């Protein structure tokens, strides 16, 4: 008879390793199964300032500092507005969120998080894929397989799905739903010899809006740069050449970005991810939980994925600990947990769904105009708090954000023709 763990976690990315570490610290026996071997490639290299307290809590901040490059700001560039560039420095956020974040190679970040949870006593195994789960028995039965095809069974009182985009439980429960409001796809790759900004700005993320969507440029510590294009699927359907050539041609559509790549070379093949926006209609049951991308993913534009994954894991650890230690009804706790996760995602969604709209461009890109004006500064600081990952329960930004949203509507009214054309385009592509 295999041992019964208190908790079994599917997936050893940021969400899985965070919840496993925190539950092991609380004295629970935890088993984590990861289908790959670390270090392994993963997209999602730009982090948020609010990741820093989470790294501190896990005791890995120094290690993250050693592999990361500091990102003091998010820089927005537009081909669509008269003002070409605006920079949002995290030090200007409304609350006291950290003044910088990190850009990291995920192979390195995820490996250090994985080794950290092993050090904390988690039975964390690599090369083991969970194939199915029996949710109906009181001790959950988890079927898994190693790379040689050998089958294993694990038993646990509580199950956490942190399997990322594989969405193991949501697939099994048939609860995964494509996001009808957002249908973008991404092509990305790593480049050598891309020109960086200078001084303190060298580690900033650059975002470029263009006619087919937007492009990220993320500098990494080893000199490489991650570049990805997030486009409407119709544009991707026009591809006739290889993925590599298509990525390079797309970059050439933006003159300033193209110049930064004058001497650059693609390092390894480009990759693509389509239909990445989804949500599960079920987040939890009495003795199971879906966290991070296993529950939902919306969009990479505000670099929120890793933060949301680790934050839901941190709150999830509190919930699982209380459920395992109590004999009473936990429905209220579960409801509160679900609400907090949904609200945190929602804070980003308002901006994500409007990110490509002319009205939001104009507002974001004009935030430096008359930047000495205290009202404008307040609005910009509130937006920076969202970009830093500090929107949830931040009462200081509620009013400024409301004012920003009203200004957005005013902008739509003032530039009705342009915004109407954009709304029509979105409805044509089914968003």
* Touching ligand FAD, residues 225-264 (CB under 6 A): 228
Site string for ligand FAD, 122-161 (x = CB under 6 A): -------xx-------------------------------
Tokens at residue 285, please? 């049951």
10 counts as binding ligand FAD under rule CB under 6 A: yes
Task: Give the nearer residue to ligand FAD in terms of CB position, either 39 or 366.
Answer: 39
How open is the CA angle 99-100-106, to the nearest 5 degrees?
155
Contacts of 311 (CB under 8 A, 6+ apart): 50, 54, 344, 389
Minimum Å gap between C-beta 234 and ligand FAD is 18
Site string for ligand FAD, 318-357 (x = CB under 6 A): ----------------------------------------
Query: Is-contact 314 341, C-beta < 8 A?
Result: no
Q: What is the 3-state secondary structure (H, E, C) of 126-159?
A: ECEEEEEEECCCCCEEEEEEECCCCEEEEEEEEE
Tokens at residue 399, please? 């009013």
305 counts as binding ligand FAD under rule CB under 6 A: yes
Task: Give the nearer residue to ligand FAD in terms of CB position, either 89 or 188.
Answer: 188
* Rounded Cα distance, 324 and 157, in Å: 8
Task: Give the nearer residue to ligand FAD in terms of CB position, either 33 or 224.
Answer: 33
Task: Give the nearer residue to ligand FAD in terms of CB position, either 4 or 125.
Answer: 125
* Touching ligand FAD, residues 19-38 (CB under 6 A): 33-36
CA-wise closest residue to 74 among 233, 249, 190, 214: 214
* Rounded Cα distance, 248 and 191, in Å: 11
Q: Judged by CB under 6 A, which of 306, 317, 334, 364 binds ligand FAD?
A: 306
Minimum Å gap between C-beta 103 and ligand FAD is 8
* Rounded Cα distance, 328 and 43, in Å: 41
Site string for ligand FAD, 46-85 (x = CB under 6 A): xx--------------------------------------
* Rounded Cα distance, 66 and 281, in Å: 39
User: What three-state secondary structure class fits 317?
Assistant: helix
Q: Judged by CB under 6 A, which of 191, 210, 288, 297 binds ligand FAD?
A: 297
Site string for ligand FAD, 192-221 (x = CB under 6 A): ------------------------------
Phi first, then psi: give them for residue 293, nearest 5 degrees. -65, -20
Task: Give the nearer residue to ligand FAD in terms of CB position, either 78 or 226.
Answer: 226
* Rounded Cα distance, 19 and 54, in Å: 11
168 counts as binding ligand FAD under rule CB under 6 A: yes
Contacts of 352 (CB under 8 A, 6+ apart): 182, 298, 299, 301, 302
User: What three-state secondary structure class fits 183?
Assistant: coil
Question: For binding to ligand FAD (CB under 6 A), which residues are involved?
Answer: 10-16, 33-36, 42-47, 129-130, 162-166, 168, 186, 188, 228, 273, 276, 292-294, 297, 300, 303-307, 309
């Amino acid at each position: 008879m295999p041992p019964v763990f208190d908790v079994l976690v599917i997936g050893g990315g940021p969400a899985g390793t965070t919840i496993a570490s925190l539950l092991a610290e609380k004295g629970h026996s935890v088993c984590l199964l990861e289908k790959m071997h670390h270090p392994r490639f993963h997209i999602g290299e730009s982090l948020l300032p609010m990741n820093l307290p989470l790294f501190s809590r896990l005791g890995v901040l120094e290690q993250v500092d050693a592999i990361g490059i500091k990102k003091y700001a998010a820089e927005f560039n537009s081909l669509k507005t008269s003002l070409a560039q605006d920079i949002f420095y995290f030090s200007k956020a409304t609350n006291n969120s950290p003044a910088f974040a990190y850009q990291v190679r995920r192979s390195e970040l995820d490996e250090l998080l994985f080794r950290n949870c092993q050090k904390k006593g988690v039975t964390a195994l690599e090369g083991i894929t969970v194939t199915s789960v029996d949710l109906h028995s009181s001790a959950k039965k988890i079927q898994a397989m190693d790379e040689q095809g050998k089958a294993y069974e694990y038993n646990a009182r509580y199950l956490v799905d942190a399997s990322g985009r594989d969405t193991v439980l949501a697939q099994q429960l048939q609860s995964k739903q494509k996001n009808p409001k957002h249908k973008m796809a991404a092509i990305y790759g790593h480049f050598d010899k891309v020109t960086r900004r200078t001084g303190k700005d060298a580690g900033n993320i650059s975002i470029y809006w263009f006619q087919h969507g937007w492009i990220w440029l993320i500098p990494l510590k080893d000199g490489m740069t991650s570049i990805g294009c997030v486009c409407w699927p119709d544009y991707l359907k026009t591809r006739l050449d290889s993925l590599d050539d298509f990525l390079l041609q797309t970059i050439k559509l933006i003159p300033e970005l193209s110049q930064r790549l004058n001497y650059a070379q693609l390092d390894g093949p480009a990759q693509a991810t389509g239909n990445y926006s989804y949500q599960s209609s079920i987040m939890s049951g009495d003795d199971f939980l879906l966290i991070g991308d296993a529950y939902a993913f919306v969009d990479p534009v505000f670099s929120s994925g890793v933060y949301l994954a680790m934050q839901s894991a941190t709150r999830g650890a509190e919930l699982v600990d209380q459920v395992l230690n109590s004999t009473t009804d936990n429905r209220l706790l579960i409801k509160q947990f679900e609400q907090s996760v949904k609200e945190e995602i929602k804070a980003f969604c308002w901006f994500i769904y409007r990110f490509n709209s002319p009205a939001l461009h104009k507002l974001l890109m004009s935030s430096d105009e008359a930047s000495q004006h205290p009202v404008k500064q307040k609005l910009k600081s509130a937006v920076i708090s969202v970009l830093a990952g500090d929107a949830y329960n931040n009462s200081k930004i509620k009013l400024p954000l409301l004012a920003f949203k009203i200004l957005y509507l005013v902008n739509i009214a003032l530039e009705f023709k342009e915004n109407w054309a954009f709304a029509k385009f979105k409805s044509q592509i089914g968003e």
